[in-house]
């Protein structure tokens, strides 16, 4: 009798375990320290502070137009999108050298937007779902702070991070409840430019 009862309990437990793993499971997202740092890339809507040494009349703050270009006195329609501030500064020096002897240019991004394909998008049960500019060393915690955290209906531990690498799309599981509510910093993961964080609604 005891052997039959033990066997039935073991079989039931085995079926339950098998049932728990029947659905597809996602791999954990890479830890926050796993990805290399990257330089900021200029995008439409960015505000750029351009300083030309010893030429205050050429130094100014200009926006990057929706077409990805900007204009300065003596220099018009310079493509800024897709370049780092340093790369843009070197190009401006080259163009200004026609009018100024040995120009020295510094470009500082003061209003960050970034290219659309590098923005991080948070959708679903976030307080304010939206696209946010990517920052070097950005983590999922930074993204959640930017969108105001989770709604009361969010199923944070079933959140999914969608990432495209070399044209292929990968999905990772992210434990937002553990991170935000329980303070489990091991659940803080690295974000990459273009990531999409999907936060589902909790089933009641």
Residue pLDDT, tens place only, 22-55: 345 788 876 655 555 567 889 898 999 999 999 9
In a domain, 34, yes or no: no
Can you tell me the distance from the alpha carbon of 125 to that of 106, in angstroms, rounded to the nearest whole number? 41
Please identify which residue in the block is written with the tokens 């401006």: 92
In a domain, 10, yes or no: no
pLDDT at 161 over 70: yes
- Mean pLDDT for the stretch of residues 189-202: 94
Q: Which domain holds residue 106?
A: 47-111
Give the mean pLDDT of the chain: 85
Q: Which of 111, 128, 152 is the last residue of a domain?
A: 111
In a domain, 101, yes or no: yes
**Res. 11 pLDDT band, cuts 50 70 90:** very low
pLDDT at 13 over 60: no
Higher per-residue pLDDT: 15 or 89: 89
In a domain, 37, yes or no: no
Split into its structural domains, the chain has a count of 2
Q: Which of 111, 139, 158 is the last residue of a domain?
A: 111
CATH code for the domain of 174? 3.10.560.10
Strand-pair partners of 164? 169
In 3D space, the residue among 99, 101, 87, 149 whose CA is nearest the CA of residue 124 turns out to be 149
Instruction: State whether 57 and 107 are in the same domain.
Output: yes
- Mean pLDDT for the stretch of residues 160-178: 95
**Res. 172 pLDDT band, cuts 50 70 90:** very high
Instruction: State whether 145 and 103 are in the same domain.
Output: no
């Amino acid at each position: 009798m005891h052997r039959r009862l033990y066997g039935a309990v073991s079989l039931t437990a085995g079926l339950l375990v098998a049932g728990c793993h029947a659905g597809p499971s996602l791999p954990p997202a890479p830890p926050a320290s796993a990805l290399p740092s990257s330089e900021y890339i200029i995008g439409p809507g960015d505000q750029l502070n351009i300083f030309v040494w010893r030429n205050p009349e050429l130094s100014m703050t200009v926006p990057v137009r929706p077409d990805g270009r900007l204009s300065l006195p003596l220099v018009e329609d310079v493509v800024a999108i897709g370049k780092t501030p340093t790369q843009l500064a070197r190009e401006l020096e080259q163009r200004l050298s026609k009018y100024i002897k040995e120009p020295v240019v510094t470009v500082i991004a003061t209003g960050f937007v970034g290219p659309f394909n590098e923005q991080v998008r948070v959708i679903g049960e976030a307080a304010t779902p939206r696209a946010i500019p990517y920052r070097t060393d950005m983590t999922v915690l930074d993204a959640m702070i930017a969108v105001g955290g989770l709604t009361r209906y969010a199923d944070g531990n079933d959140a999914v991070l969608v990432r495209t690498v070399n044209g292929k799309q990968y999905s990772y599981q992210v434990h937002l409840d553990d991170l935000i509510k329980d303070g489990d910093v091991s659940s803080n993961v690295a974000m990459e430019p273009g990531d999409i964080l999907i936060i589902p609604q909790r089933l009641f």
